[in-house]
Amino acid sequence: MSVASTTSFDGIELDRAGLARRRRLRLLPYALLAPSILFLGLFTYLPVIRVAIESLYDKPHGTGAAASFVGLGNYGKVLADPAFRQAALNNLIYAVGVLVPTLVLALAFALAVQRSTRFSAALRTVFFFPSLVPLVAAASLFFFIFLPGVGLLDYYLGKLGIRGPNWLGDSDIALWSVIGLTVWKNAGYYMLFYIAGLQNVPRDAVEAAMIDGANAWQRLRFVILPALAPTTAFVTVIALIQLLTSVDHVIVLTRGGPSNATNLLLYYIFQSAHENFDYGKAAAATLISVAVLLAISFGSLRIMERGARGHG
Amino acid sequence: MARLDRHLWPALTVALLSAVAFLWASPFLWTLVASFRPEGAGSADMASLLPDLHPTLENFRNALESGSFGLYYMNTLIVVVGVLAVQCVTVSLAGYAFARLRFPGRDLLFYAFLLQLMLVPPALIVPNLATVVDLGLYDTLPGVMAPYFASAFGTFLMRQTFLALPRDFEEAAAIDGAPWWAIIWYVLLPMAKPGLVAFAIVSITAHWNEFLWPLMVISSPANHTLTIGLAAFTLGAESGKEWGVLAAGTLLVMAPLAVAFIAFQRRFVDSFVFSGVKG
């Protein structure tokens, strides 16, 4: 009986199986994306919503009291906080102060090492190496380099008869010391993008400029730099995002001091949440920095996408 | 004059470049020299870049004894391998979907993935910590790993890798009746190995070096990773002035990646060029 029924319904069975199969195939892409979307949802989208809501409440730490709705009060508190203003200003100085020398050095390094000689290869390794070590390890090294009197910097400056300032203890100098560390750490990484970018500079354009009598500087200024514009834009964006979101060295070297001179946005957030347990403030500051990150990125979506396509 | 130019400039360039390279490498040179220097050498000349005549391993022994470096290595290794293992699955599947399948909402989802490149996990430490606490993962290594299980960068890299592969093999496999997972596992992934290796290098480097997030999530010393251990060590050495030991400790933290980099330089460099958008 059962044999007969399957035979008689064979055609329909097949159709139904085909339909189910097609439906499964239609759902397949979503199933494949599901694990990624789950974790992106939990740790990228949800936190933004969460922090937006939490920023509207005041939740006293340790008292067990319920969170009370304070509207935009936390934003008012954050924006009025001199430490936050200082951190925002510092971050701006830090971003520009790192970005400009880093880009110049990255391009100079790339131009210097683009030939495939052994010397170039060795230089490339030396310049790139700092970007491979943990920022914490770099901070440990620079802790000693900046040590007053006996540190690497003062020791050799002393041999030249120069008395260095208190690199990390002087509030006028400390931020620039942190900037110096960051330039050293990042320049070699961005050099790689310029090396890749230089390979895409049209050779005949450079040669044509040479025939026209352009000197090295003019060739750089009028031919190579314009051709590298996409690379520069791309590096600028990833550098800015990075400069807003890494403070490991500040945590180890200065803890934002002396007197907030090296406080950066993310360190301010870290401090508010992890040390002062002021979550409302930390949430509001997080949302402000998220807004800054999105503002930087949205204007450059195309650049990011081009970068994601293997760059160049 | 022209001849002088021709000889002088290259020589000057080489000299200048060598000087800059020496300056760039000096922090590492100092670490190497200081870590092998005997303790009694006196702190006044601690900064000297000249190697000591009687190198010693004492500092490494002290570093290994004073910090629980073995434990830290283990924890960091668990985090790095755990993150990478899960990522390989998530990015391969998502990369395949974006590269080979057509479905409604694909572009929208693609942009939704892009968002992670901007909202990098460090920016969201405060709400993510709350989520980790809610999930019961506070002070655990999985809590350190979880925010990285999905990777927009990895997804793009795999998508690009899959797009560059010819479709002939998959079509042949599909005609033979191979299901989608067999096509990914047996046909595409073996050909996509260079992409996976590039992604692995970037992921391993990022998580080996990571500090802020583990610092937030981990509280008990048994779960400390290398970077947390090193930071604690640095702040401790501040008072003790044990610079040789600190240098040795720093070297121990950097060594595995440094050795891997020197062994596979080309691969590292190529991967990092691809990694401009790592997340």
Give me the interface pTM, i.e. the ipTM: 0.86
Out of A154, A234, A266, name the one closest to residue B276 (CB): A234
| A2-16, B117-131, B174-188, B251-265: least confident range | A2-16
Element (H, E) at A69: strand A68-69
Beta-strand pair A68-69/A57-58: antiparallel
Contact A136 B227 (CB under 8 A): yes
Rounded to whole angstroms, the Cα distance separating A139 from A243 reads: 15
Contact B127 A50 (CB under 8 A): yes
Residues of B in contact with A48 (CB under 8 A): 119, 124, 127
Residues of B in contact with A184 (CB under 8 A): 24, 27
Rounded to whole angstroms, the Cα distance separating B151 from B168 reads: 28
Are the CB atoms for A149 and A169 separated by under 8 Å?
A: no
What are the tokens at B174?
């599909």
Nearest CA in chain A to B26: A152
Average pLDDT of B59-78?
84
pLDDT at B137: 93
Nearest CA in chain B to A311: B274
Are the CB atoms for A72 and A52 separated by under 8 Å?
A: no
Are the CB atoms for B79 and B148 separated by under 8 Å?
A: no
- State the count of interchain CB pairs (< 8 A) between A and B: 273
The whole-angstrom distance between A69's CA and the closest CA on chain B is 18
User: Domains of chain B by range and CATH?
Assistant: 2-56 (no CATH), 64-277 (1.10.3720.10)
Q: What percent of chain A lies above the pLDDT cut of 90? A: 33
Return the top range by mean pLDDT from A36-50, A166-180, B9-23, B63-77: A36-50
Element (H, E) at A68: strand A68-69
The whole-angstrom distance between B265's CA and the closest CA on chain A is 8
pTM metric for this prediction: 0.86
Are the CB atoms for B72 and B256 separated by under 8 Å?
A: no
| A293-297, B249-253, B266-270: least confident range | B266-270
Out of A141, A235, A266, name the one closest to residue B27 (CB): A141
* Residue B117 vs residue B206, higher pLDDT: B206
Q: Which of A246, A43, A271, A275 is nearest to B144 (CA)?
A: A43
Please check the confidence at residue B214 and state whether its pLDDT lies above 60: yes
* Residue B214 vs residue A215, higher pLDDT: B214
User: Long-range contacts for B4-10 (Cβ within 8 Å, ≥24 apart)?
Assistant: none
Residue type, B161: T
Residues in chain B: 279
Are the CB atoms for A84 and A78 separated by under 8 Å?
A: yes
| A63-67, A214-218, A251-255, B273-277: least confident range | B273-277
Mutate to test the interface with A, among B211, B266, B268 (most CBs of A within 10 A): B211
Residues of B in contact with A137 (CB under 8 A): 209, 227, 230, 250, 253-254
Residue type, B125: I
**What does the DSSP assignment read for A167-185?**
TTTSTTTHHHHHHHHHHHH
Residue type, A89: L
Q: Which of B130, B134, B136, B278 is nearest to B216 (CA)?
A: B130
Residues of B in contact with A51 (CB under 8 A): 124, 126-127
Are the CB atoms for A178 and A249 separated by under 8 Å?
A: yes
Please check the confidence at residue B232 and state whether its pLDDT lies above 90: no
HSE, side-chain direction, 13 A CA sphere, residue A302: 3
pLDDT at B279: 33
Question: Residues A240-280: pLDDT tens digits?
Answer: 999 999 899 999 888 887 888 899 999 999 998 888 888 88
pLDDT at B241: 59
Q: Which of A63, A103, A108 is nearest to A183 (CA)?
A: A103
The whole-angstrom distance between A192's CA and the closest CA on chain B is 6
Give the number of other CB atoms < 10 A from CB of residue A253: 24
pLDDT at B236: 74
By three-state DSSP, how is residue A277 classified? Answer: coil
Are the CB atoms for A90 and A262 separated by under 8 Å?
A: yes
Out of B89, B126, B180, name the one closest to residue A28 (CB): B180
CATH number (3.60.70.12, 1.10.3720.10, 3.40.50.300, 2.60.40.10) of A74-308 reads: 1.10.3720.10
Contact B94 A35 (CB under 8 A): yes
The whole-angstrom distance between A91's CA and the closest CA on chain B is 14
Residue type, A93: I
Out of B106, B151, B231, name the one closest to residue A252 (CB): B231
Out of B131, B227, B262, name the one closest to residue A134 (CB): B227
Average pLDDT of B213-231?
91
* Residue A278 vs residue A289, higher pLDDT: A289
Give the per-residue SS3 of chain B.
CHHHHHHHHHHHHHHHHHHHHHHHHHHHHHHHHHHCCCHHHCCCCCCCCCCCCCCCCHHHHHHHHHCCHHHHHHHHHHHHHHHHHHHHHHHHHHHHHHHHCCCCCHHHHHHHHHHHHHCCHHHHHHHHHHHHHHCCCCCCHHHHHHHHCCCHHHHHHHHHHHHCCCCHHHHHHHHCCCCHHHHHHHHHHHHCHHHHHHHHHHHHHHHHHCCHHHHHHCCCHHHCCHHHHHHHHHHHHHHHCCHHHHHHHHHHHHHHHHHHHHHCHHHHHHHHHHHHHCC
Q: What percent of chain B lies above the pLDDT cut of 90? A: 36
Residue A311 pLDDT grade (very low, low, confident, very high; cuts 50, 70, 90): very low
Question: Residues A51-105: pLDDT tens digits?
Answer: 888 888 887 766 666 777 887 888 888 888 899 999 999 999 999 999 999 999 9
Out of A33, A47, A132, name the one closest to residue B109 (CB): A33
Q: Which of B149, B159, B140, B131 is nearest to B75 (CA)?
A: B140
Average pLDDT of B190-208?
90
Q: Which of B230, B231, B216, B118 is nearest to A270 (CA)?
A: B216
Return the top range by mean pLDDT from A145-149, A302-306, B104-108: B104-108
Nearest CA in chain B to A246: B122
Please check the confidence at residue A310 and state whether its pLDDT lies above 70: no
What are the tokens at B216?
């937030």
Residues of A in contact with B130 (CB under 8 A): 50, 54
The whole-angstrom distance between B124's CA and the closest CA on chain A is 7
Residues of B in contact with A279 (CB under 8 A): 126
Residues of A in contact with B158 (CB under 8 A): none
Residues of B in contact with A189 (CB under 8 A): 272
Domain with CATH 1.10.3720.10 in chain A: 74-308
Mutate to test the interface with B, among A144, A247, A281 (most CBs of B within 10 A): A144
pLDDT at A221: 86
Q: Which of A162, A172, A191, A147 is nearest to B27 (CA)?
A: A147
Return the top range by mean pLDDT from A93-107, A208-222, B21-35, B192-206: A93-107
Contact B124 A141 (CB under 8 A): no
- Sign (positive or negative) of CA dihedral B154, B156, B160, B163: positive
Rounded to whole angstroms, the Cα distance separating B227 from A113 reads: 32
Angle, CA of A265, B272 and A93, to the nearest 5°: 25
